[in-house]
Amino acid sequence: MQTVAQAWLVYTLSNDPFYLGLDAFLGQAPIILFSLVGGVIADRRDRRNMLLMSQYIQMTSAFILTALFYFHQVQVWHILCLSFVTGVGQSFGGPAYQALLPTLVGQEDFSNAIAWNSIQFNLARIVGPTLAGITLKQLNATWCFGLNGLSFLAVITSLYVIKVGFIPSRSTESILHSMKQGISFIRKSKGLDSLIVLAFCLTLFAIPLLTFIPVFAKEVFRGDETTFTRLLVCSGAGSVCGALLVAASGKVKRQGRVALLALIALGGIIVAFSFSKSLLLSSVLIFCSGAALMWVFSMVQSLVQAITGDAMRGRVMSVYNVAFRGGMPVGSLLFGKLIPVFTVSVTMACSGGLLAALGLYLLLVHRRIATL
């Protein structure tokens, strides 16, 4: 709900796509700055406690934004600062969460666990925007931000209930030395470095489509909050279906090749969506893009998790997190600058074309992922 309300609020207050990109950039920049440190700590401390700290930071930011909007004091710079603070919390919570998840299931269930985790996340992307659209229309953004803050209570309660099967041993090594160990492991493991590069490019070229949906809704389809919500819901529904397909398929043979084929399809779908002038066709295309994105994401992450052992998981997943989340702010900031110059349709079409070209290159030329 907060994502929808915040994006619409930023664009309404500024009327400038650049600030949408800047908001996304500031929310993700801490991932680049602090995730590697967070990964080292996740390999040395109780990962559940790290997650709790992250949730408390994000909940506080949501309630501050609620108060600012309620008292009519909110400005664009307030939102930008709180996005950065939320990103700081996520930079430590992300590696801990990704390292904790596989310890709750067996290795043979990695793909299914990741897929089901994606399903609950993307169900929130369907329910959240739908509720946000209704709330924005009938009430105001205060309720969106406030309900988001309250939702963290459920997560915090769940973290206190679960039983953690793996507690990392403490280390006297320096943080820098531990970081080097993680990077060295990635470089020596077959295909792992290529998977991390792919994760960065995936979010660099694919996620901006979601970031700039408000621009498509307003400028291409001449719509309002309802149009914006409809496109977000279709994207989320597609992601759920994609994750369900991954979960139903179980252990897929030649996962790397399948992921690259889905990546090529995703790039083509983004190109088609960018030039579509029909809201109905665009709704179908963004549904398909959500399914393809989730298929690639689930395949890539399950491959990374399968290659990595528990003792190194926090550090490896922190590098993966930096790559996966790092592409978002770079892409959002870059395309936010290019859209006013080349239009949103041309800019996103180029993004999709580059994504498809990357998939073809990794499938036919640089085949380290294709052989996994």
DSSP class of residue 366 equals S
Distances (CA, A) of 175 to 93, 181, 315: 17, 10, 11
- The 10s digit of each residue's pLDDT in 302-328 is 888 878 877 788 788 888 878 887 787
Average pLDDT over residues 193-198: 91
Query: CA–CA separation, 259 vs 239, rounded Å?
Result: 15
Q: What is the CATH number of the domain that holds 322?
A: 1.20.1250.20
Whether residue 372 lies inside any domain: the answer is no
- H/E stretch holding 336: helix 310-342
Q: Is the per-residue pLDDT at 356 higher than 90?
A: yes
- Two structure tokens written together for 284: 């179908």
- The 10s digit of each residue's pLDDT in 143-187 is 888 888 898 998 899 888 887 766 666 667 777 888 888 888 888
Whether residue 109 lies inside any domain: the answer is yes
Whether residue 369 lies inside any domain: the answer is no
User: At 118, is the pLDDT very low, low, confident or very high (cuts 50, 70, 90)?
Assistant: low
Tally of structural domains, the chain: 1
SS3 285: helix
Task: Detail the DSSP E strand segments found in 89-215.
Answer: none
pLDDT at position 351 is: 94
- Two structure tokens written together for 273: 């969506």
Q: What is the pTM of this model?
A: 0.75
What domain range is 243 assigned to?
A: 2-162+174-364
pLDDT at position 368 is: 86
Q: Which of 90, 111, 89 is nearest to 102 (CA)?
A: 111
Whether residue 295 lies inside any domain: the answer is yes
User: At 11, is the pLDDT very low, low, confident or very high (cuts 50, 70, 90)?
Assistant: confident
- H/E stretch holding 154: helix 141-161
Whether residue 331 lies inside any domain: the answer is yes
- % of the chain at pLDDT higher than 70: 90
N residues, the chain:
372
Whether residue 42 lies inside any domain: the answer is yes
Q: Provide the b/e sequence for 70-107 (b: ≥16 CB within 10 Å).
A: eeeebebeebbebbbbbbbbbbbbbbbbbbbbbeeeee
DSSP secondary structure string for all residues of 340-363: HHH-HHHHHHHHHHHHHHHHHHHH
Distances (CA, A) of 291 to 61, 272, 284: 31, 15, 11
Whether residue 371 lies inside any domain: the answer is no
pLDDT at position 166 is: 63
Mean pLDDT of the chain: 84
Query: CA–CA separation, 42 vs 97, rounded Å?
Result: 9
- The 10s digit of each residue's pLDDT in 220-254 is 998 887 888 788 888 878 887 887 787 777 667 78
Contact 319, 34 (CB under 8 A): no
Whether residue 64 lies inside any domain: the answer is yes
Q: Which of 199, 194, 206, 192 is nearest to 354 (CA)?
A: 206
